[in-house]
Amino acid sequence: MREREGKALAAELSTRLEALEAAAQVIEEQAPARLKAEHARLKQAVAELTAQASVDEQRLALEIALLADRVDITEELVRFRSHVAAARAALGSDQTVGKQLGFLAQEMLREVNTMGSKANDARITQTVIAMKGDLEKFREQLENLE
């Protein structure tokens, strides 16, 4: 009975990881357009502010690039995928992995929160909210693990 419950729990956790991976894929597809739009918005705002004054174009381009980099979520997506891969590996292990998966869930949540705060995009925010829900369900299921 215990083995059957363990397999069912592992299947449920795996399903949650699949949902999280699918959501990350959605964000990954939306992120470049968001980054490009933010870059254009920043450039327009700076152009309006500096229309009256002379500005070093190279310096302006550098500042815009730095600001746009602050909304780039590529690093968070890479780390998130790494945590998902580690969770999958742990699920396939014969070891006791409850605490390890709990730690990975915490790290995944940290990356998801950072993506949400950096993205500043309604579609990405909706996906982030769904991911948080899936992570909460994942963590609830971990309570049943040893």
Q: Examine residue 130 and state whether it is found in any structural domain, yes or no.
A: yes
| The pLDDT value given to residue 146 | 60
Q: Examine residue 42 and state whether it is found in any structural domain, yes or no.
A: no
Model confidence, pTM: 0.82
| The pLDDT value given to residue 59 | 76
| The pLDDT value given to residue 64 | 73
| The pLDDT value given to residue 144 | 80
Q: Examine residue 109 and state whether it is found in any structural domain, yes or no.
A: yes
SS3 content of the chain, % helix, strand, coil (to 5): 85, 0, 15
DSSP conformational letter for 15: H
Q: Examine residue 53 and state whether it is found in any structural domain, yes or no.
A: no
pLDDT bucket at 19, cuts 50 / 70 / 90: very high
Answer whether residue 57 shows pLDDT above 70. Answer: yes
Q: Examine residue 69 and state whether it is found in any structural domain, yes or no.
A: no
Q: Examine residue 63 and state whether it is found in any structural domain, yes or no.
A: no
Which tens digit of pLDDT belongs to each residue from 28-55? Answer: 999 888 888 887 887 787 777 777 667 6
pLDDT bucket at 2, cuts 50 / 70 / 90: low
The number of distinct structural domains making up the chain is 1
Which tens digit of pLDDT belongs to each residue from 23-33? Answer: 999 999 998 88
Q: Examine residue 49 and state whether it is found in any structural domain, yes or no.
A: no
DSSP conformational letter for 144: T
Which tens digit of pLDDT belongs to each residue from 122-131? Answer: 899 999 999 9
| The pLDDT value given to residue 87 | 96
Q: Examine residue 60 and state whether it is found in any structural domain, yes or no.
A: no
Which tens digit of pLDDT belongs to each residue from 100-123? Answer: 999 999 999 999 999 999 888 889
Answer whether residue 10 shows pLDDT above 90. Answer: no
- DSSP secondary structure string, 30-81? HHHHHHHHHHHHHHHHHHHHTSSS---HHHHHHHHHHHHHTT--HHHHHHHH
**CA triplet 131, 120, 55: central angle to 5 degrees?**
150
Q: Which residues contact 138 (CB under 8 A, 6 or more apart)?
A: 13, 16, 17, 20, 105
By CB atoms closer than 10 A (0-12, 13-18, 19+), residue 97 is buried
Distance CA 45, CA 60 (A): 11
Q: Which domain holds residue 135?
A: 2-34+74-142
